């Protein structure tokens, strides 16, 4: 049900596409901040948040609340607003990460200009071979054929069995 795009994410991970900005910051700069969390670094690169959720823990609690509540809950909590706030928090995190990356790249360019020396990047990792990619594509097609007509709720035993089989591929 929630296991979507796993192959694509796996390929990105294996291809070393993601960069650990936390490690890059910890190893590359010194800042007078309590911690090197992205929220503490945002003043360095001038990012201001649009939403008032202060940390990921709050966002997680709000998401769990959203999952547990019905649209007409007794507590009078607006599920739509909860989801909107969570989305805004996640968007702020993504934009902040992007801005941090841009700021770090600008610092890199300044240092290269000051020193006159290029700062090498880590070596590229070769992409997954074609045979493995084709195999992943065949698996994805088979999973789609097995699960395309299975509802998220109220599955028959036969549908549940096909869903389980698809998850094992």
- DSSP per-residue codes, 63-106: HHHHHH--TT-TT---HHHHHHHHHHHHHHHHHHHHHHHHHHHH
Q: Shortest CA distance to 8 belongs to which of 98, 133, 95?
A: 133
Whether the pLDDT of residue 124 is over 70: the answer is: no
Per-residue pLDDT for 125 more than 60? no
Return the higher-pLDDT residue of 123 and 136. Answer: 136
pLDDT of 118: 94
Burial of 77 (0-12, 13-18, 19+ CB in 10 A): middle
% the chain with pLDDT above 70: 88
pLDDT of 123 reads 67
Q: Which of 2-16, 70-84, 85-99, 142-156 is the least confident region?
A: 70-84
How much is the pLDDT for 72?
Answer: 67
DSSP label at residue 142: H
pTM above 0.75, yes or no: no
């Amino acid at each position: 049900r929630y296991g979507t795009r796993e192959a694509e994410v796996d390929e990105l991970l294996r291809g070393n596409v993601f960069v650990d900005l936390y490690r890059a910051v910890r190893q590359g700069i010194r800042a007078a901040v309590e911690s090197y969390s992205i929220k503490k670094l945002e003043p360095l690169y001038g990012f201001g948040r649009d939403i008032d959720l202060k940390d990921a823990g709050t966002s997680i609690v709000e998401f769990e609340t959203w999952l547990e509540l019905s649209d007409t809950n007794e507590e009078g909590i607006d599920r739509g607003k909860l989801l909107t706030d969570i989305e805004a928090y996640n968007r702020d995190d993504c934009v902040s990460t992007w801005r941090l990356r841009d700021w770090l790249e600008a610092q890199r360019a300044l240092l290269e200009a000051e020193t006159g020396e290029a700062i090498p990047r880590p070596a590229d990792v070769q992409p997954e071979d074609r045979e493995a990619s084709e195999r992943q594509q065949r698996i994805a097609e088979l999973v789609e054929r097995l699960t395309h007509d299975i509802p998220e709720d109220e599955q028959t035993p036969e549908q549940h069995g096909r869903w389980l089989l698809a998850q094992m591929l």
